[in-house]
C-alpha cells in the first residue's frame, strides 16, 4: 500500500509510480477515501527492489506491507480513519437506522410511500425496500423492476437515501442508473465473488454509493466475511458496511441463529462499520426489538430493520417480521439511548 505525503498523487507522480510498479509486473489501484487517496499495489508486491525504488521517491510517505488477507479492511490498514457517510450520518458518530419494507408491492405503491414517511417520522435515516427478491420458492413473488420507480419516488418524497438488494449485473446497472444510494448484497450472494467484484467495479465509479454486505447464512470464520468486503473495496470504493443477519441452522423458534454477538469480534479485526439486521436474525416481529438492543449493546454502529405501515398487508417477509411504525419508533428511541450509554466504553 502506497501512502503519499499529500492527500493524493499528482498526474505526474502517478505516472512515475505506475511506471515503476509496471516494471515489476504490478499495477496500481487507487482507493479513494473521503480525504485521502491511497494506492494498493496489485500483483506480487514483495519485490524489495520495487519497494526501495518507491520509498526513494520524495513525495511518498511510506509503503505499508500489511500481512493480512484483507489489506484494505484490516483495522491496521491506512483506511482505518475512513468514515462512511449516508443519510446525513457519519457511521461511528451516531447510530444509523435503515428501515422499511422487506419487499415493495408494485400493485400497492401507496403502502410503500406511507411506510417510507412513517420510517422518517420514526427516526430512520435510510429507507429500505426490496425491488428484486431472492426467494426460496421459484413460484413466490420474485420482485419487479417497476418497484425501482416506487423506491425512487419514496426517496423524492422523503428526501432520504434508499437501499435495495441487487442479485445480478443487470439489477446492479438498473439500480445505479436510477440513483439508489445504498446497494445491499444479500446473505445468499455474500459468497458470490463475481457479483462482489461486479459491484466493487461499479461503485468505484460512484464514490458516494455505500454497500451493505449481509453475512452469508453459512459463513464460518469472520475472515470470510471481511474478505467479501475486501472484494468490493479492492476496486476503489471503500464504503462497505458489514451486516450480520443471523446464520443457519436456527434454534427452534427463530428464523436464523442470531449473530449480533460477533460485532465486537469484527471490530477487533476490521475498521468497517457494523450494522446489524435483527429482522432476519430472529424472523418474528415480537423478538426483533430485543435483538436490535442486544446488537447495540454489543457495539453495533447501526440497525437494518424491516417495518411496514400495515404488516399484514405486506408481502415477502413483512407479514411475519415487519415492525409497525409505533414499535419501530420506540425501538429506535431505546436503541439510541443505549448507544449513548455504551459509547464511552465501546469507543
Contacting positions for ligand PEP (CB under 6 A)? 102, 130, 134, 186-188, 214, 245, 277, 280, 317
Choice between 188 and 206, CB closer to ligand PEP: 188
Q: Least CB distance from residue 204 to ligand PEP, whole Å?
A: 23
CB within 8 A of 147, min separation 6: which ones?
104, 105, 106, 112, 129, 130, 131
Task: Record the cell numbers describing residue 293, joined without a space.
Answer: 438492543
Q: Which stretch in 23-31, 79-87, 101-109, 249-257 sits in contact with Mn ion by CB under 5 A?
A: 101-109
Residue 317 CB, nearest approach to ligand PEP (Å): 6
Q: Which of ligand PEP, Mn ion, none sits in contact with 187, Cβ below 5 to 8 A by type?
A: ligand PEP
- By C-beta, is 188 or 336 nearer to ligand PEP? 188
Alpha carbons 155 and 111: distance in angstroms, whole number: 14
Neighbours of 176 (CB within 10 A): 17
**What's the distance, CA 181 to chain centroid?**
11
The interface partner of residue 255, options being Mn ion, ligand PEP, none and the CB cut-off 5 to 8 Å by kind, is none
Task: Determine which residue in the list 21, 38, 95, 102 makes contact with Mn ion, applying CB under 5 A.
Answer: 102
Site membership for Mn ion, residue 230 (CB under 5 A): no
Number of Cα atoms under 13 Å in the Cβ half of residue 155: 19
| 134 interacts with, out of ligand PEP, Mn ion, none, CB within 5 to 8 A per kind | ligand PEP
Q: Which residue is nearest to Mn ion (CB)?
A: 102
For Mn ion, the closer CB: 68 or 171: 171
Q: Which among 17-25, 33-41, 100-108, 233-241 is the span making contact with Mn ion, rule CB under 5 A? A: 100-108
Residue 317 touching Mn ion (CB under 5 A): yes
Work out what residue 240 binds among ligand PEP, Mn ion, none; the CB cut-off runs from 5 to 8 Å by kind: none
**How many other CB atoms are there within 10 angstroms of residue 292's CB atom?**
29
Q: Are 71 and 253 in contact (CB under 8 A)?
A: no
Q: How far is the CB of 243 from ligand PEP (least distance, A)?
A: 7
Residue nearer to ligand PEP on the CB measure, 259 or 317: 317
Candidates 80, 118, 81; CA nearest to 97 is 118
C-alpha torsion 10→13→19→25, nearest 10: -80
Centre a 10 Å sphere on the Cβ of residue 340 and count the other Cβ atoms it contains.
12
Give min distance, CB of 268 to Mn ion, in A: 29
Residue 276 within binding range of Mn ion, rule CB under 5 A: no
Give the number of residues in contact with Mn ion, rule: CB under 5 A: 2
Cβ proximity to ligand PEP: between 68 and 281 the closer is 281
| Beta-bridge partner residues of 3 | 62
Taking CB under 5 A as the rule, does residue 165 contact Mn ion? no
Please, which residues have CB within 8 angstroms of residue 52's CB and are 6 or more apart in sequence?
Answer: none
Name the residue whose CB lies closest to ligand PEP.
Answer: 186
The span from the CA of 254 to the CA of 77, in Å, is: 37
Beta-sheet pairing, 89-90 with 60-63: unpaired
Query: What is the b/e burial string over 275-291, where b = at least 16 CB atoms within 10 angstroms of the residue's CB?
Result: bbbbbbbbbebebbbeb
276: which DSSP letter?
E
Instruction: Work out what residue 260 binds among ligand PEP, Mn ion, none; the CB cut-off runs from 5 to 8 Å by kind.
Output: none
Q: If phi over 0 gives left and psi between -120 and 50 gives alpha, with beta otherwise, what is residue 123?
A: left
Closer residue to ligand PEP, CB minimum distance, 78 or 163: 163
Q: Which residues contribute to the site for Mn ion (CB under 5 A)?
A: 102, 317
Amino acid at each position: 500500500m502506497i501512502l503519499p505525503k499529500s492527500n493524493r498523487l499528482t498526474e505526474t507522480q502517478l505516472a512515475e509510480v505506475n511506471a515503476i510498479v509496471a516494471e515489476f509486473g504490478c499495477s496500481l489501484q487507487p482507493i479513494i477515501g473521503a480525504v485521502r487517496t491511497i494506492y494498493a499495489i496489485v500483483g506480487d508486491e514483495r519485490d524489495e527492489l520495487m519497494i526501495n525504488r518507491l520509498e526513494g521517491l520524495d513525495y511518498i510517505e511510506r509503503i505499508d506491507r500489511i500481512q493480512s488477507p484483507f489489506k484494505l479492511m484490516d483495522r491496521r490498514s491506512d483506511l482505518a480513519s475512513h468514515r462512511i457517510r449516508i443519510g446525513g450520518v457519519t457511521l461511528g458518530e451516531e447510530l444509523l437506522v435503515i428501515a422499511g419494507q422487506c419487499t415493495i408491492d408494485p400493485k400497492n405503491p401507496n403502502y410503500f410511500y406511507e411506510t417510507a414517511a412513517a420510517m422518517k417520522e420514526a427516526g430512520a435515516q435510510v429507507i429500505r425496500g426490496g425491488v428484486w427478491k431472492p426467494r426460496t420458492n421459484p413460484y413466490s413473488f420474485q420482485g419487479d423492476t417497476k418497484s425501482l420507480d416506487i423506491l425512487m419516488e419514496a426517496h423524492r418524497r422523503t428526501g432520504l437515501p434508499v437501499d435495495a438488494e441487487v442479485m445480478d449485473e443487470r439489477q446492479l446497472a438498473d439500480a445505479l442508473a436510477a440513483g439508489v444510494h445504498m446497494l445491499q448484497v444479500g446473505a445468499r450472494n455474500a459468497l458470490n465473488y463475481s457479483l462482489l467484484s461486479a459491484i466493487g467495479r461499479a461503485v468505484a465509479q460512484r464514490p458516494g454509493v455505500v454497500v451493505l454486505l449481509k453475512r452469508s447464512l453459512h459463513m464460518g470464520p469472520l475472515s470470510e466475511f471481511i474478505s467479501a468486503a475486501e472484494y468490493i473495496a479492492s476496486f476503489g470504493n471503500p464504503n462497505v458496511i458489514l451486516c450480520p443477519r443471523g446464520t443457519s441452522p436456527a434454534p427452534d423458534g427463530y428464523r436464523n441463529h442470531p449473530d449480533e454477538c460477533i460485532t465486537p469480534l469484527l471490530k477487533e479485526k476490521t475498521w468497517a462499520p457494523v450494522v446489524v439486521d435483527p429482522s432476519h436474525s430472529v424472523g418474528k416481529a415480537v423478538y426483533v426489538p430485543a435483538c436490535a438492543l442486544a446488537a447495540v449493546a454489543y457495539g453495533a454502529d447501526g440497525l437494518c430493520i424491516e417495518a411496514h405501515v400495515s404488516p399484514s398487508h405486506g408481502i415477502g417477509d413483512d407479514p411475519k417480521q415487519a415492525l409497525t411504525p409505533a414499535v419501530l419508533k420506540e425501538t429506535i428511541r431505546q436503541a439510541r439511548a443505549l448507544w449513548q450509554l455504551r459509547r464511552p466504553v465501546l469507543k
